A = this chain, B = another copy of it.
Amino acid sequence: MLKRYLLAPGPTPVPPEVLLAMARPMIHHRAPEFDPIFQEVREGLKWLFQTRNDVLILASSGTGGMEGAVSNFLSPGDKALVINGGKFGERWGKLCKTFGAQVTEIKVEWGHSVDPKQVADALKKDPAIKAVYVQASETSTAVTHDVKALGQIVKGCPETILVVDAITALGVFDLKTDAWGLDVVITGSQKALMLPPGLAFVSVSEKAWQLAEKAKNTSFYFNFKREKDNQQKNQTAFTPAVSMILGLQEVLKMLRAEGLDGVFARQAQMAHALREGVKAAGMEIFAKGTPSDAVTAINAPAGVDGQAIYKNLRVQYGITAAGGQDHLKGKIFRLSHMGYLDRFDVILALAATEMVLKGLGHPVTLGKGVAKAQELLMAK
């Protein structure tokens, strides 16, 4: 018997309260009983996104939201600036090219955060750039980009919007959508929102809507304008994922009960304890830039295959973590701590990692990383 632990950067564990809410009998999305629920989650999302604008709710994975954030704002031939510091930065480039944009890419070495000055320079050099695409948290490298600083820069460019992939950021650390000038912010349900995969959420600023008016690209399912018009009538353009909306209602209740500051503090404490535990156990954090509080990438110790660590965590100990992608495959492994996880998940992640390393013949003192995390996770 092996109990299963989900410590990958999404899907993350779904709380029992949310599973129960989602198990409720189906209701019809055009019937009156859906009205107050949808109204409540719309308001809750504005609170969570720290925005006064509508947050669109799409029945898709986060990538659907990303696609819409390209197709609704760019016309073929438009210029886009893409910050590419990992797998998901790369995806922005692919999406922009798919929809015919001219892409300028700022390549950031994996593990580093973008230097905002580079973005400012690129925009100065080419004021025709319509949109800047970035990750608030690049899941593949477990590093953040400073979207607050980027917001300041893009605010000064009247014809340019800032599009933020916040899929592993929103609900993990502070993201002030309106105050920081984040024109489009996208997240998915299966990360800090503690839901199964299946919903994407997108906030759109007034500046971005103006750009959308002029954009000429093909979008039907991910047509944001149609979605907004429907949502303002408390409806969705197409059939919403009803059970997911019921789950979301419960999630928002839980997050509101804790408060945004409480949520961010808990996530930060866990991330900090994991990173310090990893170091105390003699390992190194991969991040050279600002590490993300959503997920931690850890260098496989010299002589140890990162894929073996990841695999043994799963096969021997029932823990689903993540390996490295592309050229980092075998060099790093990743442990997530966002969403419905608590201090004991951090402790077990460290305990199991130590046990796996010892099992692979690496010299490690059992309990050293754990002890550091215990110290940092003591109840006040």
Task: Choose among B254, B352, B358, B375 the residue that contacts A1 (Cβ–Cβ < 8 A).
Answer: B254
With A and B bound together, what is the CA distance between A42 and B182 in angstroms? 63
Q: Smallest CB–CB gap between A186 and chain B, Å?
A: 25
Query: Within 8 Å of chain B (Cβ to Cβ): is A316?
Result: yes
Q: Known: A351-B347, A367-B367, A379-B355. Contact between A3 and B340, CB under 8 A?
A: yes
Q: Is the CB of B374 within 8 A of A355?
A: yes
Main secondary structure of the interface of A (DSSP, over half): helix
With A and B bound together, what is the CA distance between A254 and B378 in angstroms? 36
* Chain A contact residue count (CB 8 A cutoff): 39
Name A339-380 residues within 8 Å CB distance of B: 340-344, 347-348, 351-352, 354-355, 358-359, 365-368, 370-372, 374-375, 377-379
Report B-chain residues with C-beta under 8 Å of the C-beta of A347. Answer: 347-348, 351, 370
Report B-chain residues with C-beta under 8 Å of the C-beta of A351. Answer: 344, 347, 370, 374
Q: Is the CB of B342 within 8 A of A2?
A: yes
Task: Choose among B2, B366, B368, B379 the residue that contacts A316 (Cβ–Cβ < 8 A).
Answer: B379
Q: Smallest CB–CB gap between A377 and chain B, Å?
A: 7
Q: How many copies of this chain sit in the oligomeric assembly?
A: 2
Q: Smallest CB–CB gap between A194 and chain B, Å?
A: 10
Report which residue of A316, A367, A379 has the largest number of chain B beta carbons within 10 angstroms of its beta carbon.
A367
Of chain B, the residue at the smallest CB distance from A358 is B378
Of chain B, the residue at the smallest CB distance from A340 is B3
Query: Within 8 Å of chain B (Cβ to Cβ): is A5?
Result: yes
With A and B bound together, what is the CA distance between A262 and B2 in angstroms? 12
Q: Is the CB of B370 within 8 A of A355?
A: no
Query: Within 8 Å of chain B (Cβ to Cβ): is A311?
Result: no
Query: Can you offer 15 A-B residue contacts whose CB atoms are under 8 A?
Result: A1-B254, A1-B258, A2-B342, A3-B340, A5-B344, A23-B23, A344-B351, A347-B347, A347-B348, A348-B348, A355-B374, A359-B378, A366-B370, A367-B372, A368-B371
Given contacts A355-B379, A366-B371, A366-B375, 20 further A-B contacts (CB under 8 A): A1-B254, A1-B258, A1-B263, A2-B342, A3-B340, A3-B341, A3-B342, A3-B344, A23-B23, A312-B379, A317-B343, A317-B379, A354-B374, A355-B377, A358-B378, A359-B378, A359-B379, A365-B371, A367-B367, A367-B374
